[in-house]
Amino acid sequence: MPHDHHDHMSPSGHPYRPDDDHPLTYWQQMEIAVRELLIEKGVTTAQEISAQIDAMDARNPAQGAAVVARAWTDPAFRADLLQDASAATREMGFDIGPMRLIALENTADEHNVVVCTLCSCYPRNLLGLPPDWYKSRAYRSRTVKEPRKVLAEFGVTLPDTTTVRVHDSTADMRYVVIPARPAGTEGWSADALAALVTRDSMIGTGLPKSPDTA
Amino acid sequence: MRKDTTFDGRRWHDMGGTAAGPVPTEQHDFALWEKRVDALMIIASGKGHFTVDGLRRVLEDMGEEAFETMTYYERWIASVNQNLIEAGVYTTAELAQRMSKVAARGPTYGEATCD
């Protein structure tokens, strides 16, 4: 039924989303003008812009998941990662640029969560662009004051005995959380473990998937 | 919108610890024009035309109303543009002329883009 527009649900059971074909906005008009001027002035080229978009699109949470899984299975790498996460992830072949990356390890007693109260600083060169909620007023305002309440909204309820550490990012320091390895995954390969690592578990607003559901 | 009547020593963007509602869960897919804004920022700053601090200065000076009424990449293109003009990469007259030309091409983003 390719032309049946009467249903509000797609065949997958999700609501249809509106097409992205709104009238040209003032800011889109400015983006086109700025881009063309930069190309004409020789600052950049259309090819360079496309390549930069492709490079950014290629960065995604799977990169971070591979880092976490390796830290869980390779003690020497884990030590390197905690010492200098920029160098350790670069050594794995990820193009993390000049970004200073700091890895924060969750343990049985300590849970780390990352925010940027001033703007939207995020380990984008490893995990890709941040989710919309990360840039919201609510997340930026509340996480440093009532982290447990914020975490509960994400479905993460921690025992009172767990210390919660909140890390406020800056343009020069980006954090990635290394979640605790789930119990019941002894002997798993790094690839199998990586499938348990979610984006939110590397921000600290989530936990890895349970091995039972993977 | 938060309306402070007293000065508490911080600017509007310094929002850590202030009261706010539930964290929103909506997520949108990045549109091509937004990815292009992101790319222009990375390329132009990477080539030394301005810095991430310059980007943030303009974003913060736009004020709280812009934060509430403009989308993330709308604010970014406004700031990228302001920084490039300040850096002397092009003039406001060149921008105005080009924006008119862009709008004259057609009513949608696809039509106004000439690839």
Angle A201-A203-A204 from CA coordinates, rounded to 5°: 60
Q: Is the pLDDT of residue B4 over 80?
A: no
Per-residue pLDDT band for B1 (boundaries 50, 70, 90) equals low
Residue A73's pLDDT is 98
Q: Is the pLDDT of residue A8 over 80?
A: no
Decide if the complex's ipTM is over 0.95.
Answer: no
Residues in A touching B77 (Cβ below 8 Å): 27, 30-31, 34
* Residue in chain B lying closest to A167 (CA): B16
Per-residue pLDDT band for A160 (boundaries 50, 70, 90) equals very high
Q: Which of B18, B94, B102 sits opposite A141 (nearest CB)?
A: B18
Residue A97's pLDDT is 83
A 86-115 near B (Cβ less than 8 A)? 115
Residue A213's pLDDT is 77
Place of tokens 């767990």: A162
Q: Is the pLDDT of residue A151 over 80?
A: yes
Say which residues have a Cβ less than 8 Å from residue A3's Cβ, sequence separation at least 6. none
**pLDDT tens digit sequence for B75-111:** 999 999 999 999 999 999 999 999 999 999 999 998 9
What average pLDDT is seen over chain A? 92
Say if domain A60-203 classifies as CATH 3.90.330.10: yes
Residue A2's pLDDT is 47
Q: Domain-by-domain residue ranges, chain B?
A: 32-112
CA A51/CA A55 separation, integer angstroms:
6
Residue B8's pLDDT is 75
Per-residue pLDDT band for A16 (boundaries 50, 70, 90) equals low
Residue A1's pLDDT is 41
**pLDDT tens digit sequence for B34-65:** 999 999 999 999 999 999 999 999 999 998 89
* Residue in chain A lying closest to B42 (CA): A52
The pair of structure tokens assigned to A14 is: 């999700």
DSSP string, chain B: ----SS--SS-TT--TT----PPP----PPPHHHHHHHHHHHHHHHTTS--HHHHHHHHHHH-HHHHHHS-HHHHHHHHHHHHHHHTTSS-HHHHHHHHHHHHHH-SBHHHH---
Backbone angles phi, psi at A110, to 5 degrees: -135, 135
Question: Among A4-13, A172-181, B28-37, where is mean pLDDT lowest?
Answer: A4-13
Residue A18's pLDDT is 60
- Catalytically annotated residues of A: 116, 119-121
Q: Which of A29, A41, A140 sits opposite B16 (nearest CB)?
A: A140
Q: Which CATH superfamily is domain B32-112 in?
A: Nitrile hydratase, beta subunit (1.10.472.20)
CA A206/CA B52 separation, integer angstroms:
29
CA A22/CA A15 separation, integer angstroms:
19
Residue A13's pLDDT is 66
Side chain identity, residue A39: I
- Average pLDDT of span A108-134: 96
Q: Is the pLDDT of residue A157 over 90?
A: yes
**pLDDT tens digit sequence for A54-111:** 999 999 999 999 999 999 999 999 999 999 999 999 999 998 888 899 999 999 999 9
Residue B5's pLDDT is 55
Q: Domain-by-domain residue ranges, chain A?
A: 26-57, 60-203
User: Chain B within 8 Å of A60 (Cβ-Cβ)?
Assistant: no
Q: What percent of chain A has pLDDT over 70?
A: 90
